[in-house]
Structure 1
């Protein structure tokens, strides 16, 4: 097992190696001689170190979506902007979150989604497939083979699962892309049965062969079981979802951290983390700086007497904010610790001048649409509550760009999966949902229904990229109701923004993202676009 620093170094090196290989492999037949220093397909696909490097490169490719600087790092925050929990204030991400862009196969938003999601996940799936197929016949030990294949199969399953949840009309394959078949045309989407058969087969293999613990940042048995439970919920297999979630909670080394303040503390290397995107300052392979946190934090530091500081969220530019629906859910229990200083920053305090230590009170929010305050626009920019889950203690408060680890999956969601799966099948869901609530200091609930689950997932998991998928999974009626009632700031959506109200812009067919026309043009002439586009 490699140490964490070596994992970072291999992360960058393997990513570059595999990218070079995929671009040069088709030319190797034309070379009359190969210097001993050249890394070719024989190395990457037939040797133990080559296969291991190929697997590590998948982690680098997974991180690429977060590292991509497209429109202020839209790839890292887009899924959170399009939900019933967010007020998407400005920027191109705001246009996407308000359903003004990304709603046609030919608009620029669809092209951004093509690069950041469609091409991104197909790229990972194709590379994982090449590694899987090579490892199955390579002359390596059974232990190495199983480790390589299990990690690669996790990434392939995860990629196809993400694509299916976004785009619905996708195709899956277990065939390696080669020079001979690279230009073969895909004529039709895969059936739902084919998609889930491959995803489940890959995850089953990963569960069987991964260990419960590994170097921080690498996927484990718990990661695979967590995703398997999520997949089962999409299939309506509540017993399987329950079993996988409870197994992850009870059989593995994972546990909820003791307080909400600890969940996103430090580098996220804690007992609750199931999958964390790795970045590290001043280290080869440590990843790029991003504006993920800056998207979620207001410009409070533009107020005289308050400087940007990590405790209050760092330096932000107020793109995607928690809306009143979410803030009201958090405020229902006055003892709930998730509403200030841990997951969200609700109040700001002067750091210099005559009022140092006092609460900032410069601007008023909208409380009456017919008589809005004269300062509400600056309230949204500078005093509105912020999500601070992605601010890290060693971030630079004077920069919008920072390099931080990003939690993708954690055990609190596993508990909520268990609660929902039990609620929809058999057993008592209360211990699982109340474990999350009592950790946050909130009173336990006494009954559980779909709305209870939806509300608790909002409080616990908001802005972690899962909400859109939860709404879609629960069905057309659920997503239609939640978006048309609560997206933006609901009834308090600023009247001066007019047609920018996401509640009014929402159309039921937006439940599936459009496949960009430039991607359809590469597919067969009969390949189906999603309905409504």
Structure 2
């Protein structure tokens, strides 16, 4: 099945550059003309395939140059951030987190590029005879458009809504730029997602496709932001009763294990492969960097890349680590199997010499643990890591690129959203039902007391840490500043920048949203679309 989707996505890579602006009637080197792509159902299918390649191109952020997909993972209460381009997002450095920074531009341009392609597909579909297949293609495009706008809205707050395709008739028309109201944003999100839910399959034949469960998951998240608690529960109830086989895996080790992550808990999985279509950025299969970001640079302590070992999850760049605060939330570290299933706590000495007192084959010490001083010295290259993205299946030795699938949405998050919605409605029994799905699956005894919002905030951390949603979760709850101020980084770790966020964020409350990219404000006109407050 993965081979099938890779071939489909390969066809899509040739169509990324196609838009309705291709007005010249010239022969295409790929045999696909703009007329074929946007005037036939078969062509629109190819254009829809290309959306998945765009989505993966965004995930592969040029080895961290822009680090848009990593930046917000660094910037929460659950992270210790260290080094590399984009480290200032984790430290909320006002000297670098500004409108000219790379990551906001990378996200803004990436999402609006996706939105533009979706608009082209949706508009072209209106001119073709309606069929079930066409509706499904349009539903995929609308799901991608909703996903993109939802990401932009949560990150920037102030966004421009555009649902028009660029055509020969309007290409020279003057654009009207203005920030969309919250009501306008959510009206579009609801509309697109309702269409997607209506026409998407529960289990598409080709894996990796947008499906109804993923669309309902996004709708539930959108509804949380809109405080529409009933709709959250409606969407999640529909997934549970779908009969499509979505269920939590019993074994935590299997959630992120292996190259292929298309299992019952995964609602949407981004497909990666070394085969053509894995990611053709320069016509050479190129993977993503998720596998190296969260594993420490232990090889440097041991003496070089020669000592990258399978039991240490191979090459690590050590950019973002689990924080002591995160580990403190696992109250029973034996019963709660997530503490060991999701993290590597010590690295083995895979060299042929004794290092920091560890003989070959022994664990390298966490150096602060044996020191009696208040601020003991620490080697950050042996800092505990997160293995959710770790990859020993598609890469070897010191190879940095990974071709392991990436789970975009999984059912565990869906259930935690349901627990929150039920609690917001005052239904503690229903809230506990959903809370216990992840809590008990982890190995804990059933929670029978009075559930509180703090319980849900903590469970969201224990289950979903470093999967990319915590920053948005804290922002929506209005506690981003307080949580980072209290818990970001590690004062013991000897990584001075890791705790700077505690000082910088309270003094810069506007950091709860990103700056609109400088060039975009200039293009739209600051009189029409002003920069977010607090940024210069």
Structure 1 residue 364 corresponds to structure 2 residue 362 = no
Contact 1:67 1:73 (C-alpha < 8 Å) held by counterparts: no
The alpha carbon displacement at 1:415 in A equals 0.8
Check conservation: 1:55, 1:131, Cα contact below 8 A.
yes
Within 5 Å, which residues of 2 pair with 1:152-171? Answer: 152-171=141-160
Tell me, what secondary structure is at the counterpart of 2:330? Answer: helix
Report the Cα distance in structure 2 between the residues aligned to 1:217 and 1:102, rounded to whole angstroms. 40
Distance 2:29 2:292 in 1: 46
- Could you list the per-position Cα deviations for residues 473-523 of structure 1 after superposition, in whole angstroms to 9, with x for gaps in the alignment? 112xx112101111122x5464x7279611101121111110011110111
Work out whether residues 121 and 159 of structure 1, in 8 Å CA contact, stay in contact via their aligned partners in 2: yes
Structure 1: how far apart are the matches of 2:287 and 2:307? 21
The reply on whether 1:80 has 2:69 as its aligned counterpart is: no
Give the alignment's TM-score, normalised by structure 1.
Answer: 0.90
After TM superposition, give the deviation of residue 195 of structure 1 in Å.
Answer: 0.6
Partner of 2:45: 52
Q: Could you tell me which residue of structure 2 aligns to residue 187 of structure 1?
A: 177
Structure 2 match to 1:485: 486
Preserved contact between residue 82 and residue 498 of structure 2 (Cα < 8 Å): no
Structure 2 runs not aligned, ≥5 long: 281-285, 354-358
Q: 1:258-269 to 2 correspondence within 5 Å?
A: 258-266=250-258, 267-269=260-262
Deviation (angstroms), 1:39? 2.5
Deviations 1:337-357 (A, max 9, x none): 1112x2111122334658454
1:412 counterpart residue number: 412
Task: Note closer, same or farther for the CA distance 1:239–1:23 as it changes in structure 2 (3 Å cut).
Answer: closer
Q: Answer whether contact 2:248 2:265 (CA < 8 A) is retained.
A: yes
2:530 alignment partner, one of 523, 528, 531: 528
> How far is 1:367 from its partner?
7.5
Distance in 2 (alpha carbons) for counterparts of 1:212 and 1:452: 31
**The one of 427, 430, 433 aligned to 2:432:** 430
Structure 2 counterpart of 1:177, from 138, 159, 166: 166
Please give the secondary structure, in 1, of the residue aligned with 2:267. Answer: strand
1:408 alignment partner, SS class = strand
Deviations 1:230-264 (A, max 9, x none): 00000001111111122223324200011110110
Counterpart of 2:385 in structure 1 is 386
Distance in 1, Cα, partners of 2:175 & 2:518: 15
- Residue 317 (structure 1) aligns with: 317
Q: Distance in 2 between matches of 1:392 and 1:500?
A: 29
Match of 2:22, SS state, is: helix
- The separation in 1 between residues aligned to 2:438 and 2:450, in whole angstroms, is 15
Q: Give the structure 2 partner of residue 149 of structure 1.
A: 138
Q: What's 1:455 paired with?
A: 458
Question: Using the alignment, how far apart are the partners of 1:326 and 1:35 within structure 2?
Answer: 53
Which whole-Å deviations, capped at 9, do the CAs of 1:338-394 have from their partners, x for residues lacking one?
112x211112233465845433226335987x74223x1x1x22x211011111341
Q: 1:439 pairs with 428, 438, 441, which one?
A: 441
Q: Residues 102 and 113 of structure 1 are in contact (CA less than 8 Å); yes or no, is this contact kept in structure 2?
A: no
**Deviation string for 1:190-218 (max 9, x for gaps)?**
11111100111010011111111012211
Residue 296, structure 1, aligned to residue 294, structure 2: yes
1:92 aligns with 85
Tell me by how many angstroms 1:160 deviates. 0.5
1:234 aligns to 2:225 (yes or no): yes
8 A contact 1:96–1:102 mirrored in 2 = no
Change (3 A) 1:420 1:84: same
Structure 1 distance, partners of 2:497, 2:22, is 54
Deviations 1:245-302 (A, max 9, x none): 2222332420001111011012111100011111112344455222222111102233
Structure 2 match to 1:13: 11
The structure with more helix, counted as a fraction of residues: 1
Matched-pair contact (CA < 8 Å) for 2:56–2:279: no
For residues 38 and 353 of structure 1, do their structure 2 counterparts lie closer, same or farther at Cα, with a shift above 3 Å needed?
A: closer
CA distance in structure 2 between the partners assigned to 1:25 and 1:175 by the alignment: 16
Aligned to 1:257: 249
Alpha-carbon distance change, 284 to 203 in structure 1, aligned in 2, over 3 angstroms = closer
List alignment gaps of at least 5 residues for structure 1.
Answer: none
Does the CA contact (< 8 Å) of 1:412 and 1:436 recur in 2?
yes
Shift of the 391–104 alpha-carbon distance from structure 1 to 2, 3 Å rule, reads: closer
Deviations 1:95-149 (A, max 9, x none): 2211116865444x2x33212x10101111111111011112114x511211111
Shift of 1:307: 3.4
TM-score between both structures, scaled by the size of structure 2 = 0.89
